[in-house]
Structure 1
């Protein structure tokens, strides 16, 4: 199975000819006023400049946002000049009105080009913060003209407005990564309206087999599987952990936090362990606990954490619990825990199955709080086995999900697209 998930695996080999979108003449394009927004492809000798376009807000944690940040860091280690074009919701009353959950404080780093505020749009069982501001159309066009990227890398290319605007206006090579899985019902609107723009992608990437299947249902074509990379700390001792478990994720129904909380009194009684809840809004978690009549004994709600603090929490915990109910195309939070030598107790669902192995994880039926409790108790009761699973998980993450290896493959894809 490990070979099936190896970085750079082709689900269906890309054809010998590159897609023709980049070579269309401006007069053939249905978008008027199309500007020359890329440099001639001299990247092999002069250094490569890549723009990463993300249709979500930098201010709020999410798997795609985290992926793009780590991707940018890894590409820089490959010698690539990178800018990230993304939304931003500065702290303040207006942001608190639009977004009930807590976000990042302070401005984005210098390599981030903010293009507008976001709004919450329910999609695929989640509540992403999508950039829909009309001003973002002008800002992304200005950014493309100013930065003169050699290659654009679009995450969720069919998501408005930044990615669709980039597809419509950028004249250079473009790569798209498809993350989502499931029905993708919003594509019923996107495909007939702007789906034709997907033909301008020179290369299509899916982060998992599930993501590939979901995307191909709406946009047939060739997709290469390049998995989500993971931040791997330089050292991780699977033993000597604090007697606690961790949940990490947004407060959304599909993440299954309510399943874990319903199981918590039994876990606490049988193990004496503590629980740290990371990522979810603290107020909403406490309200959920009151509604479920779950005592707060042993539970600490930490809210959003930056990368360093999140890593520290995983390095200190005995296990990560991921009780998601579905809608996961790839278990990013699972690989993050494995990289920290932290075993995983997770729902037996599509997406997670591509990551979990018997040597690194315990699975339970999604939504079954009693099975969840039994799995956690089983893991915490056998410390030698738990530590061995942690060590195996770290080895798996290093072999399959190391960002430096994935970034090297991305550079090859960029070079092929620009050739």
Structure 2
């Protein structure tokens, strides 16, 4: 199958949607499909062979974050060229309502279109206001996927229609087989995310840290992600700042090693999350998880059975839970085992098969519609199908033979 995938956000700025698309493309290619991904990127960004650049993106505030999007006449021309060169069996657009390549592709594409909705935002006035503009594009979509029940709810409430829920995928074995790093072990809490993006929740964790260190002074916090490190620790007492180690941006391999090394992974995110891929990655690595009780996080953690939850933005609740867990190795081991078992449902072997089933459904449907249209046209203009013509020819031959025999 020839599959075209559209990424709305800049390929050179890491994010959950980009990682999902990257891993989906790799999974489909490994299965023997031909895949091309269209994504914004800077001119000097090294790209995998399956990624086609749609040009440089610009930063735009979106869903409580800053997304780097690509839109305009030049982008539209690149979309049309990519579609023309690709001759895809199916187009898979991510975030088709964002002002980026997905919406441009919806307008330009013909044939089966699958759309995945990642955003969870129950009060999006912008999406409601933009509906008249989006409607024509959305009507061209053959099938809709939402990455969580909360992303599906946002879609239904703002745009109408419905979607099948297929979660983000993870290569579980990649994280499970990573080797722990000795210097990251021993009384460590892990955090991975953009330091200067408040909704990722690092300020909440920093407010909780003094109480954690007062009870367990040997604890260290390992932070991986880009942002202003000095500003991040500014609220901490001077003596406690040495208990925070900033690792900067880490590779995929080091992210897996970090998650395999820590005693506890904390996700203090405060909102704007429709899924929680980092929780799935942490569970895949066997890390016990403590997360804020966002609806999406609670769903991923099976309502607290595969990881513990604390009240969103409550630093004291976070500290109390962390102190209790770090002092209870048996509970940490239990959470690790439960998470490792629960996370199998998010492996690409399952998620990829579900997405392919959607592709096959829409392509089969498109083929049936095309055949019905051809049949209708033939009937309208009095033309017989090939099979009908063959049958008629055979009947004519039989009649001619009979007449010849009589003579």
Tell me which interval the TM-score lies in, with the shorter structure as reference length.
0.7 to 0.9
1:290 aligns to what SS in structure 2? coil
Whether the aligned pair in 1 keeps the contact of 2:193 and 2:226 (CA below 8 Å) is yes
Q: Deviations over 1:51-100 (max 9, x none)?
A: 11011001111111111111111222332211111111256xxxxxxxxx
Q: Is 1:217–2:157 an aligned residue pair?
A: yes
Q: Is 1:287–2:226 an aligned residue pair?
A: no
Alignment of 1:319-358 (within 5 A): 319-357=264-302, 358=304
| 1:291 Cα offset (Å) | 5.1
Q: Deviations over 1:222-241 (max 9, x none)?
A: 21000111231353599995
| 1:206 Cα offset (Å) | 0.6
Whether the aligned pair in 2 keeps the contact of 1:248 and 1:280 (CA below 8 Å) is no
Instruction: Evaluate the alpha carbon distance shift between residue 110 and residue 242 of structure 1 in structure 2; reply closer, same or farther with a 3 A threshold.
Output: farther
Q: Is 1:384–2:330 an aligned residue pair?
A: yes
Alignment of 1:40-189 (within 5 A): 48-90=1-43, 106-182=45-121, 183-189=123-129
Runs of 4+ displaced beyond 3 Å: 234-242, 291-295
Structure 2 residue ranges without an equivalent (≥5): 365-407
Whether the aligned pair in 1 keeps the contact of 2:179 and 2:257 (CA below 8 Å) is no
Structure-2 residue corresponding to 1:308:
253
1:128 aligns to what SS in structure 2? strand
User: More displaced, 194-203 or 238-247?
Assistant: 238-247
Instruction: Evaluate the alpha carbon distance shift between residue 371 and residue 291 of structure 1 in structure 2; reply closer, same or farther with a 3 A threshold.
Output: closer
| 1:144 Cα offset (Å) | 1.2
Larger radius of gyration: 2
| 1:409 Cα offset (Å) | 1.3
Structure-1 residue corresponding to 2:131:
191
1:117 aligns to what SS in structure 2? coil
| 1:147 Cα offset (Å) | 1.6
Pairs aligned (count): 355
2:334 aligns to what SS in structure 1? helix
2:32 aligns to what SS in structure 1? coil
| 1:196 Cα offset (Å) | 2.2
Whether the aligned pair in 2 keeps the contact of 1:326 and 1:350 (CA below 8 Å) is no
2:247 aligns to what SS in structure 1? strand
| 1:303 Cα offset (Å) | 2.5
Structure 1 residue ranges without an equivalent (≥5): 1-47, 92-105
Q: Greater relative contact order (Cα 8 A, min sep 6): structure 1 or 2?
A: 1
Q: Using the alignment, how far apart are the partners of 1:332 and 1:141 within structure 2?
A: 32
Structure-2 residue corresponding to 1:277:
223
| 1:414 Cα offset (Å) | 0.5
Q: Using the alignment, how far apart are the partners of 1:161 and 1:362 within structure 2?
A: 37
Q: Using the alignment, how far apart are the partners of 2:273 and 2:154 within structure 1?
A: 11
